[in-house]
């Protein structure tokens, strides 16, 4: 059994053409793998969980690019669907 922790970042992503939303943590390549499997029509939003307010807040494209800059696979997948430059 695996657990998601809010201490290192918890995110939710929604894709165009898909009614499901996916919750993930910032483990290496998770976002990139989700995009590769479900993101061919683009991303509606990526939100980050804020423990103080106990809610998800939408991230800007710049915040996403900065936050996942260390994750090459995810960045390349975001570029592939023209989400970021």
Q: At 85, is the pLDDT very low, low, confident or very high (cuts 50, 70, 90)?
A: confident
Which residue carries 């061919």 as its tokens?
Answer: 40
What pLDDT, on a 0 to 100 scale, did the predictor assign at position 31? 95
3-state secondary structure of 24: strand
- pTM comes to 0.86
Q: What is the pLDDT of residues 57-75, one digit of tens each?
A: 999 999 999 999 999 999 9
Nearest to 74 by CA among 22, 46, 21, 36: 36
What pLDDT, on a 0 to 100 scale, did the predictor assign at position 60? 97
Locate the domains of the chain by residue range.
Answer: 10-80
pLDDT at 22 over 60: yes
């Amino acid at each position: 059994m695996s657990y998601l922790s809010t201490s290192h970042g918890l995110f939710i992503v929604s894709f165009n053409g898909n009614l499901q939303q996916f919750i993930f943590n910032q483990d290496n390549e998770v976002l990139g793998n989700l995009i590769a499997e479900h993101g061919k029509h683009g991303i509606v939003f990526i939100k980050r969980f804020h423990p103080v307010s106990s809610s998800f807040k939408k991230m800007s494209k710049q915040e996403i690019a900065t936050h996942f800059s260390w994750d090459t696979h995810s960045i390349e997948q975001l570029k592939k669907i023209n989400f970021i430059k």
